[in-house]
């Protein structure tokens, strides 16, 4: 057997700059009137919050930056949003939808 490649789980924190890899497609489905995340042999249905967050995952913004953007937009406390989207992005990273 080949030597094990040292790959580890990406842990999401405020400094992480998440990015959607090119083979993950966030697409709006006109016919069904909803968003889909198309992934290798999987399809996910993101809710509105997840779509908002994913659109901001450009590999430049940190999770903290994304929380700031959303805090302003929704006039909500930044810490609360940070906690919420960190958990969401960890879930998405574990599913392979975003990379840290």
Partner 1 sequence: MSDNAPTHVKNVPVTLDAGELRTEAKQADEADDVACARAPIGLLAELTHRCPLQCPYCSNPLELERANTELTTEDWQKVMREAAALGILQIHLSGGEPTLRRDLVDIVKTASECGLYTNLITAAVTMKRDQLEQLKEAGLDHVQISIQDVDTAAENADRIAGYKGGSEKKKIVAGWVRELGLPLTINAPIHRHNVYNVENIINYAVALDAGRVEIAHVQYYAWALKNRAALMPTREQFNEAAKIVERKREELKGVLVIDAVVPDYYAKYPKPCMGGWGRGIINVTPSGQVLPCHAAESIKGLEFDSVRDKPLGEIWLFGSAFQKYRGTDWMKEPCRSCPRREIDYGGCRCQAFALTGDAANTDPACSLSPLHEQWANVAEVESHQPSPDFVYRRMGGSAPKTPAQKTPEPSDA
The whole-angstrom separation of Cα 18 and Cα 5 is 22
Instruction: Find the distance separating the first CA and the last CA of the chain, reported in whole Å.
Output: 28
Query: According to CB under 8 A, which residues from 37 to 76 bind partner 1?
Result: 37-38, 40-47, 49-50, 53
Residue pair 53/73 in contact (Cβ under 8 Å)? The answer is: no
Residue 91 within binding range of partner 1, rule CB under 8 A? yes
Per CB under 8 A, which region of 58-66, 70-78, 90-98 contacts partner 1? 90-98
Q: Which is nearer to partner 1, 72 or 95 (CB)?
A: 95
Residue 17 within binding range of partner 1, rule CB under 8 A? no
Per CB under 8 A, which region of 19-27, 55-63, 72-80 contacts partner 1? 19-27
Residue pair 29/65 in contact (Cβ under 8 Å)? The answer is: no
Give me the helix-helix angle, 63-74 and 78-94, nearest 10°.
130
- Candidates 36, 62, 64, 69: give the one binding partner 1 (CB under 8 A): 36
């Amino acid at each position: 057997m080949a030597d094990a490649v040292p790959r580890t789980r990406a842990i999401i924190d405020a400094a992480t700059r998440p990015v959607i890899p090119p083979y993950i497609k966030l697409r709006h489905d006109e016919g069904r009137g909803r968003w889909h995340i198309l992934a290798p042999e999987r399809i996910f249905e993101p809710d509105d919050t997840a779509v908002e967050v994913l659109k901001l995952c450009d590999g430049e913004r940190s999770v903290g930056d994304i929380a700031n953007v959303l805090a302003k937009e929704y006039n909500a406390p930044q810490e609360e949003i940070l906690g919420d989207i960190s958990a969401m992005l960890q879930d998405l990273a574990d599913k392979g939808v975003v990379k840290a």
